[in-house]
Each structure stands twice: as C-alpha cells, then as structure tokens.
Structure 1
Amino acid sequence: MNDIGVVHRTITRAARADVDALAPFGVSTLHEAMGRTGLMRPYIRPVYPGAALCGTAVTVLLQPGDNWMLHVAAEQLRQDDVLVAACTTECEDGFFGELLATSVRAQGGAGLVIDGGCRDIAALEEMDFPVFSRAVNAKGTVKATPGSVNVPVVCANAVVRPGDVVVADVDGVVVVPAERAGAVAEEAARREANEEDKRRRFAAGELGLDMYAMREPLAAAGLTYID
C-alpha cells in the first residue's frame, strides 16, 4: 500500500475549527454520525484509565520490533497532532514509552494510537500522556530498518490518512476523514440533542418498546407473551 523509506513533510490537516468541533463528542457518537464507519478494532485500548485524545494524524508505518520511525515522526509533529502508528506485520513489542512520550509532547504531540505494544505505563499515566495500544509489553525494540511517515496506513483495520482526525476514549478509537470533519461534527451535535430527549423520556419511565414503536413489528415477527 505504501512506499517504504519516505517522509512526507507537507500534509493537509483537517481545519482546526473542525477538530475543535469534534472534540466534545465521544467515539460512539462520532461512529454513529459517520454511518457506523471509521472505528478501529476493539483490541486498541487506553493504557490507563481516563486516557482520551482528539487531534490530527501524523501517520507512521513501522517495521516489526523497530521503533526508528517514531523518532523520525516526532520531527513532523505540530501542535495537537496525534501519532498513529501501524506496522508492516503484526507485532506487540513495546515500541513506545516514557522517553518517546516526553519527546512527542515537547513537539506539541497530543498522544499516540499504535497497533503494537507500549510500555512505561505508570510513567505515561503520571504524565497524563494518552496512549491507545494493541498491547502493554515491556519488550524493547531496535532501530535498524526504515519505514515511512505521513503515508496512508491501515491501523487496526481503519484507514488513516495524514491529517485525518483521530478521536479516542474509553469506548475505542474512531477516524474522521479530514474532508468530512465539519459535517460529522454537525451530525454528532444533532444526534446528541436527539439522545438528550430520549434520555429524559427513559428517565420518566417510558419504555423503548413504545418509544421506538417496537410492539407491532415484534408481534409480526412472532413474539408471544405468556402469563
């Protein structure tokens, strides 16, 4: 899918206003607002409770057991960018830890999503540096084989292009294409307003069976109540 050994220094990021508009919404809401697309596989999990992030993607293609390109990618970060790292084949080694997090933060990076392993979890939590990873693994890596930076990658089954918006929370990770970010934020706001109305109705005791007019289709499907 990608050329190996290239770094694209110029990328088109989603508009800052659109990123800010997406930030208040949870991953579940944004996934629904995009027609149930954009989710990474659910094995990508926050490495500590409460981790969350929202920012524009600087993408990294790693070689297995080799974190060289994460150091290369750090130079390409701008304020509030998120590193999104995929690997040329499955690997759960500890590509990332406290020292790289310190470097990434100094360059303005807002966090990391990696289809690989991460370590130094206690230190990352103390720093409040959000990482979403495939695994927690103390095994270290080498710096020997080039990958690429700012190329399209497939990370945990989601296509991520440089400059797309990445949002992550306890429910998972979702990727919003840069050109759709504004429209998705508007749809997410509409969904949340609709959900607030439903929340009030549920709290008042109304059943989903009636709110969603389920009784007639359930009967047509053959559901029978027996006293």
Structure 2
Amino acid sequence: MATAPDLITLPMMRESLYAAVVSDALDSLGFPHQSPRLLLKPYTTGQILVGRCKTTLWADMAHEDPRPYDLELRAVDSCKPDDVLIAAAGGSMRSGIWGELLSTAAGNSGCGGAIIDGAIRDVAKIREMGFPVFARGTCVYDSQNRQRVIDVDVPVEIEGVRFSPGDLVFADEDGVVVVPQAVEVEAIRRAWNKVHAENVTRDAIRGGMKALAAYERFGVL
C-alpha cells in the first residue's frame, strides 16, 4: 500500500483529498471539532476548494457608514494565490455580503474561493465565473449600512470552530474542514494514507470481499 510522499502540495491535495477524509485524520490526532456542523452549501461550483485561510470578521450595523466596503476591499486586494477568503459573519442573513464584483476582484488576486458564514448574492453570475463560494444562504440586499468588515487577518470562529490566518481549509459538498497549522503535516499525511488505503479496500469489496472481512483485513472504513 502506498505511503504519503514527503511533500504533498496543494494541487496534490485537490486531486486526492476531500473534506471527510481530512476530518477523519484530524479525529485520529485528537482534533474532533474542526468542521462547523451547520452546512455551508457550495452555491457556485461542485469542485473541492482547498487553500489557506484569509480571514475577515464581520459585524451587523444599522447606521450610515462613512467608508463603506473599506476593509473588505482591502482584504480582497491583499489576497494571494491559493488563499480562501473566510467571512466570519456570525451566520447573519442581514445582507448578501459577497457577490460578483468581490468574486472577480478576489479571483484576479489569485484567491481560490470564499467561505461565507452568512449570505451571498449574484449567484448565477458567480457560477458563470466558476469561482467557488460556500455560504449559508442568499440575500438580495447589499451590505452597505447593513454589515461591514471590522477586522482582517485575525483568528475567527464559525460555529465555534476556529479559523486562523494561514490554516489549511477544505470545502466540498460534505462540509468545511479547517486544519490547524500545528498538526497540518501529520494530518495531511494521515489523510493521504487513508485515501489510498480506502482505494484498496474499495477494490477488494468490488471484487467480492465482504465488508466485515475487508475491514478486518485492511482496518479502513
């Protein structure tokens, strides 16, 4: 059975890994709460999103903002290739805080996608772009004077799960999983090995081996 290579790159992760197997690897390392239980739905593509957290913290507001969009635009403009923008908005559906123009600007900076703990809009246009966005739902209202970014590049939480700047994040149809940097190397190694062990187990079951016998032989489920 193949073992993980010394260096597993982001393109290799996108090709072979997925959210559930990364979550299993984190479980085995004693990190059982690395995925928000409330599903953040993939609204614009079905592809897996893998990258490093670029965090933004949002707040609701009910007054006129003299500098609307200021920090959110600064955050988007400072994105680097393979970043994933994280919008920690506390699940607020007060407005659509992410849309077509931010997706375009983020994509131009090399950002791989966005995870929005709140609402988005312009879904059809973002889908045409092929820019991956995960969110709680949609809302037609603009964020101006309704919500704004209050901090950037700080640890944030979604459903009690911490996302720190630079953490690896995986998102697909099963959910969102964040990998703390302190255990990143070992977690990815374990996830890689489990994927390849699962392939062997799957082939054995397809070949007629009973599920229990396959589990007893390979130890993978």
- TM (norm. structure 2) is 0.80
SS at match of 1:23: helix
Gaps of 5+ in 1: 1-15, 214-227
The alignment's TM-score, normalised by the length of structure 1, stands at 0.78
Distance 1:47 1:31 in 2: 22
Q: 2:210 aligns with which of 192, 207, 226?
A: 207
Instruction: Report the residue type matching 2:126 in the other structure.
Output: L
Task: Give deviations 1:144-195, integer Å, cap 9, x for gaps.
Answer: 7551001100023321000001111121111011232222221112101211
Q: Does 1:34 align with 2:51?
A: no
> Which structure has the larger Rg?
1
- Whether 1:48 aligns to 2:44 is yes
Matches within 5 A, 1:115-154: 115-143=117-145, 147-154=150-157
Shift of 1:49: 4.2
- Residue of structure 1 in register with 2:55 after alignment: 59
Show the counterpart of 1:170: 173
Task: Sort the Cα spacing of 1:107 and 1:97 in 2 relative to 1 into closer, same or farther, 3 A.
Answer: same
- Counterpart of 1:180 (choices 165, 180, 183) is 183
The Cα offsets for residues 62-90 of structure 1, whole Å up to 9 and x where unpaired, read as 11269833223113211111100102x44
1:161 to 153, 159, 164: 164
1:18 Cα deviation after fit: 4.8
Where 1:63 maps in the other structure, the secondary structure is strand
Distance in 1, Cα, partners of 2:38 & 2:87: 16
Aligned to 1:219: none
Aligned counterpart, 1:91: 92
- 2:92 partner amino acid: C
Q: Are residues 1:22 and 2:23 paired? A: no
Q: CA RMSD in A?
A: 2.3
Structure 2 residue runs without a partner (length 5+): 1-6, 217-221
The count of residues paired between Structure 1 and Structure 2 equals: 197
Deviations 1:91-146 (A, max 9, x none): 11210100111111122211100100011111111100000001122122115755
- In structure 2, relative to structure 1, the CA distance for the partners of 1:199 and 1:90 (3 Å cut) is closer
In structure 2, what is the Cα distance between the partners aligned to 1:137 and 1:100?
15
3-state DSSP class of the match of 2:81?
coil
The amino acid of 2:46's aligned partner reads G
Whole-angstrom distance in 2 between the partners of 1:193 and 1:108: 30
